[in-house]
Chains A and B, each alone.
Chain A
């Protein structure tokens, strides 16, 4: 790895050029040294490997996220520029959209996943978490990814959406595809798209109104067609957003929290001593591990960002995970501290595109960690954790553990 500086242009400060590949396997295996290199090289860097600008410090990541008029989403939030390339699937009406179009669709999903709705589903989600812990206590030794981080969201979220029982095995592969597709045309992305047809067919079919159970999040979205808020053609694509972003993300979020609590027994003990810390223990895991590592934006005009001049139509890669451990913003950034004031982290993004399902994620995380801490004295990692590689998501494929009942 090396960093070199380009000559100063038009009075703007030079942008350091780095030859790192933040979508390579060796990067995914241990991204932290490269995150530090990116942060310390300058407020804005240029990555020659993919011809993109990058921001890895908290202040610049936050600034880019909060200026959607300059750093737009409608040209794709992956490397692919929708103005120059045909998107691999019809663009999302919310993630890959700008105001004013975004404002209308966003408002529909915000209402479907509002704090009021969370109050209604809370007891059901909490009961399912208790049942999951019952099953885990019987096993004692299990894979905390498959049997916990995946099993729990799978036991509630597809039902909450109102999905049919058949075909749910496509959900995680579809989400994995979506998040790989934000990356560059590397092996991960190409393989994912090559295998995408059956998953896409399932999702397209499942998003239709007739295939969604009454009362679920999916049916609630379609009901907005009757109010005239969205069209009948838009509703299935908005349901698709929940299928794309509502499951694999929480799997990785819960996986991250369990991995943290198993690695840091002092934090696990603090949680056991005070169960009201469960929600913040999850939030801090989202900061610490950042299940969603990166997103891109595209500049709509020439702009100066922290002294760096960026032309129009440039892709800017935001390193959310690096911002979440920027020592300029966080005290002891590399410590997992469940009592930290984690408000302001960008693990869910920030600004108008901040995760619309963040309340679902927090609810799942809170009730699952509460249920675990109530009845389990200790979690011991009993085998080498295996990483799952994805262009955007960070998480484990396997985490063998043994638990001790309380």
Chain B
């Protein structure tokens, strides 16, 4: 089990416990974090679970796959070099402490 932090655009943060094997998006929706919509339910089809990964953690995440890359081009707020879809971030003990920033909007 690990814990991750979501930082909202207004600076407020949510620190949540996660279960191994779930994605950052699943952890967020399970804890009712607003700011993660996840309209497609984690099927990498909608780009509404967009997050900006804290720079310190970026290199520790697996590379962006082609379908995620294409979806990131269509996010509601600007795509930045640290943009990821949280449904594609599988949580592992190595990601304990991960910090993700939420965008202003998802649609």
| Interface residue ranges, A against B (CB under 8 Å) | 107, 110-111, 114-119, 279, 283, 341, 343-345, 348, 350-352, 354, 356, 358-359, 362, 366
B32 nearest CB neighbor, chain A only: A341
Return the CB mask of B10-51 against A: 1 if under 8 Å, else 0: 000000000000000000010010000111111101110000
Instruction: Identify 17 new A-B residue pairs, CB closer than 8 A, beyond the known A117-B74, A343-B39, A345-B41.
Output: A111-B70, A114-B71, A115-B46, A115-B73, A115-B74, A116-B70, A116-B73, A279-B107, A283-B39, A341-B29, A341-B32, A344-B29, A344-B42, A351-B43, A354-B40, A362-B39, A366-B107
Shortest distance from the beta carbon of B80 to any chain A beta carbon, whole Å? 16
A115 touches B41 (CB 8 A): no
Give the residue of A116, A118, A344 whose beta carbon is less than 8 angstroms from that of B41. Answer: A344
B74 touches A119 (CB 8 A): yes
B45 touches A118 (CB 8 A): no
Give the residue of B38, B45, B70 whose beta carbon is less than 8 angstroms from that of A358. Answer: B45
The 10 A-B pairs at the shortest CB distance, nearest first, are namely: A115-B74, A116-B74, A343-B38, A115-B47, A344-B41, A354-B43, A116-B73, A343-B41, A114-B74, A343-B29
Instruction: Please indicate the chain A residues that have their CB under 8 angstroms from the CB of B46 in the complex.
Output: 115, 358-359
Interface size on B, residues (CB 8 A): 19
| Interface residue ranges, B against A (CB under 8 Å) | 29, 32, 37-43, 45-47, 67, 70-71, 73-75, 107
Q: How far is the CA of A116 from the CA of B37 in the complex (A)?
A: 17
Q: How far is the CA of A37 from the CA of B37 in the complex (A)?
A: 32
B70 touches A110 (CB 8 A): yes
Instruction: Please indicate the chain A residues that have their CB under 8 angstroms from the CB of B41 in the complex.
Output: 343-345, 350, 354
Give the residue of A343, A348, A350 whose beta carbon is less than 8 angstroms from that of B37. Answer: A343
Q: How far is the CA of A115 from the CA of B105 in the complex (A)?
A: 14
Instruction: Please indicate the chain A residues that have their CB under 8 angstroms from the CB of B73 in the complex.
Output: 114-116
B29 touches A115 (CB 8 A): no
Instruction: Please indicate the chain A residues that have their CB under 8 angstroms from the CB of B74 in the complex.
Output: 114-119
Q: How far is the CA of A283 from the CA of B73 in the complex (A)?
A: 23
Instruction: Please indicate the chain B residues that have their CB under 8 angstroms from the CB of A110 in the complex.
Output: 45, 67, 70
> Could you give 5 example pairs across A and B, Cβ below 8 Å?
A115-B73, A117-B74, A354-B41, A356-B45, A358-B39
A117 nearest CB neighbor, chain B only: B74
Instruction: Please indicate the chain A residues that have their CB under 8 angstroms from the CB of B47 in the complex.
Output: 115
Instruction: Please indicate the chain B residues that have their CB under 8 angstroms from the CB of A118 in the complex.
Output: 74
Instruction: Please indicate the chain A residues that have their CB under 8 angstroms from the CB of B45 in the complex.
Output: 110, 354, 356, 358-359
Instruction: Please indicate the chain B residues that have their CB under 8 angstroms from the CB of A366 in the complex.
Output: 107
Shortest distance from the beta carbon of B50 to any chain A beta carbon, whole Å? 10
Shortest distance from the beta carbon of B86 to any chain A beta carbon, whole Å? 12
Instruction: Please indicate the chain B residues that have their CB under 8 angstroms from the CB of A343 in the complex.
Output: 29, 37-39, 41
B105 nearest CB neighbor, chain A only: A276
Shortest distance from the beta carbon of A7 to any chain B beta carbon, whole Å? 37
Q: How far is the CA of A352 from the CA of B32 in the complex (A)?
A: 26
Instruction: Please indicate the chain A residues that have their CB under 8 angstroms from the CB of B107 in the complex.
Output: 279, 366
Q: How far is the CA of A354 from the CA of B42 in the complex (A)?
A: 11
A348 nearest CB neighbor, chain B only: B40
Instruction: Please indicate the chain A residues that have their CB under 8 angstroms from the CB of B40 in the complex.
Output: 348, 354, 358
Q: How far is the CA of A351 from the CA of B38 in the complex (A)?
A: 14
A115 touches B75 (CB 8 A): yes
A115 touches B43 (CB 8 A): no
- Of residues B37, B38, B40, B67, which shows the largest number of chain A Cβ atoms within 10 Å of its Cβ? B40
A118 nearest CB neighbor, chain B only: B74
Instruction: Please indicate the chain A residues that have their CB under 8 angstroms from the CB of B71 in the complex.
Output: 114-115
Q: How far is the CA of A116 from the CA of B41 in the complex (A)?
A: 19
Q: How far is the CA of A110 from the CA of B40 in the complex (A)?
A: 13
Instruction: Please indicate the chain A residues that have their CB under 8 angstroms from the CB of B75 in the complex.
Output: 115
Instruction: Please indicate the chain B residues that have their CB under 8 angstroms from the CB of A354 in the complex.
Output: 40-41, 43, 45
Q: How far is the CA of A270 from the CA of B43 in the complex (A)?
A: 30
Instruction: Please indicate the chain B residues that have their CB under 8 angstroms from the CB of A341 in the complex.
Output: 29, 32
Q: How far is the CA of A233 from the CA of B42 in the complex (A)?
A: 33
Q: How far is the CA of A115 from the CA of B76 in the complex (A)?
A: 9
Q: How far is the CA of A356 from the CA of B71 in the complex (A)?
A: 13
Instruction: Please indicate the chain A residues that have their CB under 8 angstroms from the CB of B39 in the complex.
Output: 283, 343, 358, 362
